[in-house]
Amino acid sequence: MAMFPTGRMRRLRQTANLRKMLRETMPSVDDFVFPVFVVPGKGIKKEISSMPGCFHHSVDTLTEELKEAASLGIRAAILFGLPESKDETGSGAYDEKGIIPTAVGAIKKAVPELTVITDVCLCEYTSHGHCGVVQGNTVDNDKTLELLSRAALVYAKAGADMIAPSDMMDGRVGSIRKTLDENGFSNLPIMSYAAKYASAFYGPFREAAQSAPQFGDRRSYQMDPPNWREAMREMEEDIEEGADIIMVKPALAYLDILQRARQAFSCPLAAYNVSGEYSMVKAAVKNGWLDEKQIVLEILTAIKRAGADIILTYHAKDAARWLKSSQ
């Protein structure tokens, strides 16, 4: 291309039409997965204090929320459940009459066009808040696999369209894949939280899911933030074990990991625009420091540009409205 003064890059930025015509990357509502929190009870819609605009829903109000989301063009939601009671082994996660199977059944009746994804982890269901079976002060990896696989099978039988293990136990994708295949669910896809970092960005989620560890932390099983080569190994192993989609979490502080994953792997790639990223934006907007529409769309564009095919985001409904209005 000719250099200045013959070449002038600004020529193609002069009007909105030109900018839209030449736009290289733009998130679409088709990319979004809407994370939601479901609780026992009836008629409940309670705002989560650290996540303005996000709510704890009982099953009945959740179906209304998801009807609205579907009307905006959102095609998928991922469910996080809070049980009536917790115990050492997180039995509420694999209870056939538990909160997630109940919610899945209701959503499939009320909003059949919506793809329902179920997070698979034990942290919301255990009394100690860790993502697996605790022996002493350590999470027992192999004993946890059986329980995660049981939960995945329960969700599959309830009608889930996709299973999303988020626990970061070694071998859990292979264990879940084997269980699903042996029980007639060989066509049910798995979206693995493959590179899930031990991040400070999860704080608001832990309030929302009431899942903060009661001792220690999750650094012995979630990834160390400085590492990228380890993330490549995690993702490669999950693909080999049968993951159909791999995820990087969080998204915004790990765009380099997303880009490396996009270059290394051809399978679909998801990214989770997590609670801390969401809440920081909401706090800045409340103080008048940022324009919410502009900053959210810029963040989502960055995640898409880095290589994500799927974006899990609490901004999904607002972003869907903004994208529609800008067309």
- The residues annotated with a catalytic role in the active site are 196, 249
Q: Give me the amino acid identity at 186.
A: S
CB atoms within 10 A of CB 137: 10
**Torsion sign across C-alpha atoms 327, 315, 70, 32:** positive
Going by C-beta distance under 8 Å and a sequence separation of 6 or more, which residues neighbour residue 157? 96, 101
DSSP helix/strand/coil, 226 = coil
Distance CA 308, CA 295 (A): 18
Burial class of residue 327 (count of CB atoms within 10 Å of its CB; 0-12, 13-18, 19+): exposed
Angle at the Cα of 173 from the Cα atoms of 231 and 312, rounded to 5 degrees: 65
Q: How many CA atoms lie within 13 A of 49 on its CB side?
A: 2
CB atoms within 10 A of CB 165: 30
